[in-house]
Structure formats: structure tokens, C-alpha cells
Structure 1
Amino acid sequence: MGKNFIGLDTEKTQNLADALNNLLSNYQIFYMNVRGYHWNIKGDNFFELHAKFEELYDDLLLKIDEIAERVLTLGHRPAHAYSTYMEKSEVPERKDVSDGKEAVGDIVESMGKLIAKQRQLLNLAGDAEDEGTASLMSDYITEQEKTVWMYRSYLGE
């Protein structure tokens, strides 16, 4: 059982990198969906949702970079082709969404998928004694659970 340059088991970091690349793929598709919602939103809540979607995609872009850098920190290469993202993502690509409630519903659904993947990564990281990945996933989960609650409240759920 070999160790990598930061003292983690190489086989376990490969599994972590694979899971992080899968998460990265989901984030990239989600990011583009939210950009589209921002650009195409129409209706009564335009100003509010336009601003919220921009806030969300700015946050997603930061997380995308952090996930890719975590893959590199583990000694692996982050996925960087949209064909790979499309192939691996469970978050579906959304096109031409201009209705606010539909966009918010898609956001809630997509965040649920991300949170589930992050929980799986939290377990993998714990098993690998990878505090860095565990901390990152824990922070994301805590923040996104609150975001999901707020978006669900907007939907009246």
C-alpha cells in the first residue's frame, strides 16, 4: 500500500480523484444551467431571480476551481472537457428555461444531487484519512443545505 506525496494511500486517492471528477462534471453542467437561467429569466420576479442566479453561478465557479485544485492536490488530473462532463453528469443539461419557478425547481433538484455526491465523497475521504477533501465537502454540504431550504421556501414547499 503506497503513499502519495501528501501521505495518503495512492489507491484511495485514485478513488477520491475519480469521485471528485464526477462531482466536477456535475458542477460544470449545473453552472452552465444556472448561467442560462440568469440570461433567460423573464417575468414578475426577474430582478430578484436574475441577481440570485448570478450570486449562485459565481459561487459555483469558485467551487469548480476548488474541486479541480483538490484533484490536483491528490496527485491526479481534473477532467476538463465538456464531452467528459456531459458523459459523467447526472445533472441534466437544461435549455431555454425562462420561467422562474421551473429554474428554481431545477436548482433544488440539481443541488440535491450534488449534496448526495458530496456526502459519498465525505465518506470516501474519511476512509482515506483525507481531511482536506472531507473539510471541503462538509463546508459545501452545510452551505448548500441552507440554500436548498431557501429555494424550496421560494417555491412554497
Structure 2
Amino acid sequence: MKYNSLGLDVQKTEAMVHQLNTLLANFQTYYQNLRGIHWNIRGKRFFDLHVKFEELYTDANLKVDMIAERVLTLGGTPLHTFNDYITKTTVPVGKNVSNDEASVQLVVDSLSELLKIERNILEMSGDANDEGTNSMMSDFISEQEKTIWMMKAWLDQSM
């Protein structure tokens, strides 16, 4: 078994980089969805949702940077073109979404998809003894689960 300078198995780290790049592509789609619904939201809940979506896209932008820097830390190259993102994303793309409930549902659906990827990475990082990636995924998962709960409460949906 070959180890990198972080003391992590090289093969496991390469697989982790691949999955982190998949997460990066999906986070970029989520981020762009948030920008779109922030710009296009209409109706009586405009003021509340406009501010909330800005809060969410600011957080997503920070997470995009964290993911890219983790890829670099592990010796990989972060994806950075729209073409790369389009080919790897599984997060639903929201186009011309301006309705309040549809906007919030898009956030829920996007985060649900991100959670699937993050849980896969969490499992991989645990197996690879990669505490840096493991900790990041744990933090992301906790925050996103809470956001989904809040958004579903707003939608008056059960978990």
C-alpha cells in the first residue's frame, strides 16, 4: 500500500478526490439554483425568501471553496468549468422558478441530493481514515439536515 504525505492511502485518496469533485459540481448547481430563486422570487413572501436565499447562497459559496480546497489538499485538481459541472451534476436544475413553494421545494430537493453524495463521501473518508474530509462531511450533513427540516416545516410537510 502506498501512502501520500498526509499519511492516507493513495488509491483511497484518488477515489475520494473523484467523489469530492462530484460534490463540487453538484454544489455549484445548487449555488446557481439559489442565485436564480433569489433573483426571481415573487409574491407576498418575497422579502423573507429573498433574504433567506441570499443567506443560503452565501453559505453554499463558502462550501464550494471548502470542497475545492479539500480536493487540492488531497492532491487533486478541483473541477472548475461549467461543462464539468453539467456532466457530473445530479442536483435538479431550477430554471425560471419564481413561486415561493416551488423555490423552497427546489432547495429541499437539491439538499436531499447533496446529502446522498456527502453520506457516500463520509463512508469513504471513514474507511480511508481521512479525518479532514470526514469532519467536513459531518458538518455539512448536520447543517443541511437542519435546513431541510426548516424548509419542510415552512412547506408544512412532514419529514
- Fold match (TM-score > 0.5): yes
Partner of 2:138: 138
Aligned residues: 157
Question: Secondary structure at the residue paired with 1:134?
Answer: helix
Which amino acid counterpart does residue 88 of structure 1 have in structure 2?
A: K
Paired residues for 1:68-147 under 5 Å:
68-147=68-147
Output the CA distance in 2 between the equivalents of 1:14 and 1:146. Answer: 31
* Deviations, residues 62-115 of structure 1 (Å, cap 9, x unaligned): 000000000000011000011010000001221111101001001101100111
For the residues of structure 2 that align with 1:147 and 1:90, how far apart are their CA atoms?
Answer: 19
Cα root mean square deviation, aligned = 0.6
In structure 1, give the amino acid aligned to 2:9.
Answer: D
- Give the Cα–Cα distance (whole angstroms) in 2 for the partners of residues 60 and 124 of structure 1: 22
Question: How far did 1:146 drift?
Answer: 0.5
Say if 2:2 is the partner of 1:33.
no
The TM-score with structure 2 as length reference comes to: 0.97
State the shift of 1:41 in Å: 0.3
Q: 1:71 and 1:13 mapped to 2: Cα distance?
A: 9
SS in 1 for 2:66: helix
Stretches of structure 1 that go unaligned for 5 or more consecutive residues are none
Is contact 2:92-2:106 (8 Å) kept?
no
SS in 1 for 2:147: helix
Q: Structure 1 segments of 4 or more deviating over 3 A? A: none
* Contact map agreement 2:45 2:100 (CA 8 A) in 1: yes
Deviation at 1:5, TM superposition (A): 1.4
The reply to whether residue 63 of structure 1 matches residue 52 of structure 2 is: no
Tell me, what secondary structure is at the counterpart of 1:64? helix
Q: Please give the alpha-carbon distance, in whole angstroms, between the structure 2 residues aligned to 1:120 and 1:25.
A: 15
Structure 2: which 5+ runs fail to align?
Answer: none
TM-score by structure 1 length?
0.99
Percent identical residues: 51
